[in-house]
Amino acid sequence: MPNLVLNKYKNMPDVPKRTTLTNPSSELVTSKGDVTKSLILDAALYLAGRDGFEGITIGSIAQRMQMSKSGVYAHFESKENLQIEVIREYHRRFRHVVFEPALQTSRGLPRLKKMLELWTEQTISEVSTGCIYISGAFELDDRPGPVREELVLIVKTWRKTLVRAIEMAIDEGHLSAKTKPLDMLFAVYSFILGLQHDARFLKKMSSVEIARRHIKGILDLNKPVQS
């Protein structure tokens, strides 16, 4: 993926090329091998949403793609490599639909609000499949190893990006100087987790408006007091 060195957001992770959670990577692939790998990752992301990381195997991908196991193996060489690449691909797509569009808005609170709005919309769109950041955290929380480490790295990077967006809103005077970025991050993350849980597990779509209302509320609560 192209290196984004824009303002203070240069720490949003650089990961190998390709990216909506429809596939913007299709715009970048050029060779037959690239196309095949992109299609394999599409299938793997579907299986991850349906069956979790344990559902992502060389055999399950080969069956879904109607290709040989050796053909899938040639692109990834192991189940672990495949799972790691799925995490990276999910992140590329998440970055493409949430982070990059938010950079088009003015810095400070408008950018932070756009980032949270797009994240909420993405969470809603994933009610039927699940968010890898969230579902993966529960599935891999007690499974040490490279796959868990990759997911932790990417989740931490997204959290740092949100904290930096909050700090920029404070610097611009759009949020009070008394705003505690880590507290706000915890609150917003909790609302997104609650939305995912209630909408996906309990089938309570009323949680969408509840989450939106509370995210707006935490931003309004931290606006500077007008003298």
Task: Give the tens place of pLDDT for each residue, 143-163.
Answer: 899 999 999 999 999 999 999
Question: With 90 as the cut, is the pLDDT of residue 215 above it?
Answer: yes
Of these ranges, 50-54, 61-65, 85-89, 211-215, the one predicted with the greatest mean pLDDT is 211-215
Average pLDDT over all residues of the chain: 85
Q: What is the mean pLDDT of residues 152-181?
A: 97
Which residue ranges make up each domain of the chain?
9-17+80-221
Q: Please report which confidence band the pLDDT of residue 227 belongs to, taking 50, 70 and 90 as the band edges.
A: low
127-130 contact pairs (CB < 8 A, 24+): 127/196, 127/199, 127/200, 127/205, 128/49, 128/200, 129/46, 129/49, 129/50, 130/49, 130/196, 130/200
CATH classification of 9-17+80-221, choosing from 1.10.357.10, 1.20.1300.10, 3.40.50.300, 3.30.1540.20?
A: 1.10.357.10
CA–CA separation, 191 vs 180, rounded Å?
Answer: 17
Q: Please report which confidence band the pLDDT of residue 168 belongs to, taking 50, 70 and 90 as the band edges.
A: very high
Q: What percent of the chain has pLDDT over 70?
A: 85
Q: Please give the pLDDT value at position 223.
A: 96
Least confident of 67-71, 187-191, 215-219: 67-71
CA–CA separation, 99 vs 101, rounded Å?
Answer: 6
Q: Please give the pLDDT value at position 206.
A: 95
Provide the whole-model pTM.
0.80
Question: With 90 as the cut, is the pLDDT of residue 127 above it?
Answer: no
